[in-house]
Amino acid sequence: MAAPVVAIIGRPNVGKSTFFNRVLGERRAVVHDRPGITRDRNTARAEWAGRAFLLVDTGGFLPGAAAGRDAHVRRQAEIAIGLADVVVFMVDAKTGVTDLDGAIARDLRRLARRSLLVVNKVDKPGDPVTHDFHGLGLGAPQPVSSEGGLGIGDLLDLIVGALPAQPAHEAEPRTRVAIVGRPNVGKSSIVNMLLREDRVIVEPEAGTTMDAIDTLWKTPAGEFLLVDTAGIRRQAHFGDEAEFYATVRALHALERADVACLVVDATQGFLRQEARLAHSALDSGCSLLLVYNKWDLIQGREEAWKRMAHEREERYATLAGVPAVPVSATARINLGRLPKLILQRVAEHERKLATRDLNDWLQQVQRRRAVPSTRLGHTPKIYYVTQTSTAPPEFTLFVNHPSRLSANYRRFLWLQLTEHFGFRGTPVRLRVRKSE
């Protein structure tokens, strides 16, 4: 199921990007005192209270802008609003209510978007300045400090509560396979060759594909739903509104796919953007297969393949073991191998481990490296581990004091688990719960 979209809007310099970074727990968006730094939209997958959503940071919204860069930013924000299931309208407690705030509020009321009014830069609880914003007519203002963290958890509770209800899960009759990659690496050519028809427009100019297109693919190994997506650039390089819309659709395609085939231009190699897309696919719960296209253009293929694998391992160690295959859409090299490789990815995605095997592993790994104690000398006790979900595989550790189990040791256990049981290119998730 595709994750819902939450858009952050507001006039320039109210702290939208700071809030965006705070929710993600990392500096993903540029933050500067000078307004107008965020011109495009940043999008990232976020999760709160077990609910995943796509969080969209927009540039400063100037409703009256009619031309130039300000009009472009306004249009970007309007499209984000149109895509959003929930709009977070941010205002500034330091400057108070402005005419621009009023104009944005009127637009939101006219559009009847599900909105939350958020008063940022509130440094202390109960600050009466929050009440000044009731006149915007968007419900009770929610005070936060994106920089200091005040009220962020409460706001995220409200955001999750405002998201559309999750529909009951219905098993898909066919495996969904998302074809993703940078622009012009040959995704649509691969789809057309697999289907043996011109299902998707192919042009030399990058950016032709704008929608995520679902197509039934029948093979001797079984049936799949292929989803060809728009090429995903780095977010700072969005050319226009349509390109950003296409990127959000591509991220949605990953959210509802079982397997992601990440297409790499073999003549250029595995670049940083491929690494970003690989992690986006894994974060979305997809098993991953790397497809190196344009293999017919490579000289000395055996040595080149070893070199590409070595370079990927050197630069991106966490992606070193991801299964990969060289193909050529135009010369039809190795395309016949894809159904079997995809089925292997599905099998690992749905893999189920016995609880006994898991706990034998847990005892062995704790004998090699004991659970570290806290600075106060308290050592958490891990009672047992069991698999709590598949597609993707999820494992839960039951611990007497979860807060005492350090992040470093959790990371160590995750690495040991994936290595011991041979998970490669599958998003294994390790949870920790309190054991009563």
Question: CA–CA distance from 284 to each of 42, 293, 413, 422 (Å)?
Answer: 17, 23, 21, 20
Q: Which CATH superfamily is domain 355-434 in?
A: K homology (KH) domain (3.30.300.20)
Distance CA 210, CA 332 (A): 25
142-151, 156-165, 204-213: which has the minimum mean pLDDT?
204-213
CATH number of 175-349: 3.40.50.300
Superfamily covering domain 5-162: P-loop containing nucleotide triphosphate hydrolases (3.40.50.300)
* Phi, psi (deg, nearest 5) at residue 340: -65, -40
- Asked whether 423 and 393 are in contact (CB, 8 A), the reply is yes
Task: List Cα–Cα distances, 98 to 12, 147, 218, 314, 434, in angstroms.
Answer: 12, 22, 58, 52, 48
Residue 131 has pLDDT above 70, yes or no: yes
pLDDT higher than 50, residue 333? yes
pTM above 0.75, yes or no: no
Give the integer Cα–Cα distance in Å for 134 and 117: 9
What are the boundaries of each domain within the chain? 5-162, 175-349, 355-434
Q: What is the pLDDT of residue 244?
A: 56
pLDDT tens-digit series, residues 170-192: 445 478 899 988 888 988 889 88
**Whether the Cβ atoms of residue 172 and residue 147 lie closer than 8 Å to each other:** no
In this structure, which amino acid lies at residue 308? M
Three-state DSSP class for residue 280 = helix
Residues 238-249: tens digit of each pLDDT: 444 444 555 666
Neighbours of 18 (CB within 10 A): 19
Residue 263 has what DSSP assignment? E
Intrachain domains 5-162 and 175-349 with the same fold: yes
pLDDT average, residue stretch 8-13: 89
